[in-house]
Amino acid sequence: MIRSSVDISVEFNVTTFSSTRTPARRGHLILWAGLAIALTAVNLRTAVTGFTPLLEIIGADLGFGVAVAGLLGTVPAASFGIFGFLAPVVTRRFGLERTATVALSLTALSLVIRALSPTTLVLVLSTVLALAGIGAANVVIVPLVKAWFADRLALWTSLYLILMQTGQFVAPLLAVPVAEATTWRVSIGIWAGPAAVAAVVWLVLALRLPADHHAPATATVLDARPRISRSSTVWGLVILFAMLSMSNYGIITWVPTVLTDAGGSAALGGSMVALYSAWGMVAALVVPHLATRLANPFVVVVVCAVALVAGYLGLLLSPLDGTLLWVCLLGIGVSTFPLCMTLINRRTRTPQSASAVSGFVQGIGYGLACFGPIGLGLLREATGSWTLPLVVLAATTVPGVIAGWFACRPRFVEDSVPRPPERADSPSLRP
C-alpha cells in the first residue's frame, strides 16, 4: 500500500526523535541518574523523623504548645497528599528530572528557613514548604525508577525504599543528641545539606537532557494520555494505599499510647515503634521482587491483611503479653507499601503514566490517611478505651483486600481507560 508523504514524514520524524534520545540514556548519565535517585530516597523522610523528636524542645523555645505540635504532626500526610497530587501536572510541563531538581531545592531552602525560624508561624510555613518538596519527590521518584531502570525495577525499587528507611531511622537517632550537643536549630538544619546535594545532582542531569527526554516515541501515545480516574486498577491502588497509610500513621502515632495505657513504659512504646519500622527494611528487600516475579501478587495483600488483623487483635486482647509478636505482625502487615510502589510501575507502560498514577494514588491515599490518627484519637476520647479504635483499624483490611484484588490483576492502566477520539484532521502514523 502506498503511503502519503505526510505519513512518511511523520514516521521519519518520530524515528529520528526516538533514535536521538536513546544514547542519552546510556553510559555516565545512567550513573548520574542512579546517584540522584539514591540521594533523593535518603531525603524522603528525614525532614519529618528528624523534626518530631524535638517538638517539645522547640515548643519551649518558640512558645507553642500541644495544639501546634499536633498541627505539625498532621502536616506530613497532608503535604504529601496535596503536593503529591499536583506533582504530575508539573512533570508533564517540565519533565521528571527538572521537577525533582525544583522539589529538592525547595526542600533544602525551606529546611534552612525552618532552622532559622524566629516565630512559630515561620516554623509552620517553612515546614509546609519543605514537605511540599518531599511530597513531589515522593511522586516523581517512582516514574524516575521506571524511566531509567525499567529492566531492573525490583532491584531499584528495593534500593530506594531501603535508603528511604535508612534516612527514616538515622534522623530521629541523631535529632536529640545533636540538639543537646549544639542547638535544635543545628539539629533540624543539617538535613538541608543532603537535600541540596540531591538537587545539585538532578540539576546536572537535567541540564544534559531535554525536558521531554522520557516522552513516548509516537505521537499517538503523546496525544492519548490515559484518564486514570476511570481505571479500576488505579482505584484499587488508591484504596489499598490509603488503608495501609491509615494503619501506618495510626500505629506510629498511637501504639506507644496503647502500651502505656496498658501499664507499659514509655521506653517500651518507643522501642516497639523502632521494631515496627525495622520491618520496612525487610519488606523493601522482599516485596518488590515478589511483585515483579508474580503475575498476580494478590497473595501478598492477603498475607499482609491477616498479619494486620492478628496484630491488632493481639494488642486488643493482650497488649503486654506477646507485644513483640504483635508489633512484628503489624510491621509485616504494612508491607503492602512497597507492593503499591512497585505496582505503579508494573501496571503502567510509560514514565508519564507512572507519574500520573503515582500522584493520583499518593495524593488521594495520603489525604485520606490524614484522618486516621485524628479519628482514632477522637474514638479513644469518646469511648475511654482502645477497643473500638483497634477494631476500626482491623476493619480497614477489608476494603484493602478488595482493592488489592483490583490493583494486582495483570493488566496495564492504559489498556483499561478510554482514549480521546482521534482528530479527523490529524495525520495517521499507520501505513
Looking at the structure, do residues 110 and 238 belong to the same domain, yes or no?
no
Domain boundary among 215, 235, 260: 215
Give residue 22's identity as a one-letter amino acid code: T
Q: For the chain, how many structural domains are there in total?
A: 2
Which positions ≥6 away from 283 have C-beta within 8 Å? 161, 331, 332, 334, 335, 337, 338
Q: What's the pTM value of the predicted model, to 2 decimals?
A: 0.76
Looking at the structure, do residues 196 and 272 belong to the same domain, yes or no?
no
Give the SS3 label for residue 297: coil
Residue 279: count other Cβ atoms within 10 Å of its Cβ.
Answer: 20
CB contact burial 360-387 (16+ within 10 A = b; e otherwise): bbbbbbbbbbbebbeebbebbeeeeebe
Residue 373 in domain: yes
Looking at the structure, do residues 326 and 402 belong to the same domain, yes or no?
yes
Residue 112: count other Cβ atoms within 10 Å of its Cβ.
Answer: 18
Q: At 335, which CATH number?
A: 1.20.1250.20
Looking at the structure, do residues 232 and 316 belong to the same domain, yes or no?
yes
Residue 430 in domain: no
Cell 546536572 identifies what position? 204
Q: Is 218 left (phi over 0), alpha (psi -120 to 50) or beta?
A: beta
> What are the angstrom distances between the C-alpha of 179 and each of 57, 106, 111, 171?
9, 24, 15, 12
Looking at the structure, do residues 87 and 157 belong to the same domain, yes or no?
yes
Residue 308 in domain: yes
pLDDT for 370 equals 79
Residue 426: count other Cβ atoms within 10 Å of its Cβ.
Answer: 11
Cell 520491618 identifies what position? 279
pLDDT for 390 equals 95
User: Roughly what angle, to the nearest 10 degrees, separates helices 266-293 and 323-333?
Assistant: 40
Residue 10 in domain: no
Looking at the structure, do residues 185 and 266 belong to the same domain, yes or no?
no
Domain boundary among 187, 215, 243: 215
Looking at the structure, do residues 193 and 279 belong to the same domain, yes or no?
no
Domain boundary among 215, 250, 267: 215
Q: Which of 161, 83, 157 is nearest to 342 (CA)?
A: 157
Quick check: 345 and 233 in contact, CB under 8 A?
A: no
- Regions of the chain with pLDDT less than 50: 1-24, 216-225, 422-431
Looking at the structure, do residues 166 and 264 belong to the same domain, yes or no?
no
Domain residues for the domain of 341 are: 227-418
Angle (CA) 363-369-101 rounded to 5° is: 35
Looking at the structure, do residues 180 and 238 belong to the same domain, yes or no?
no
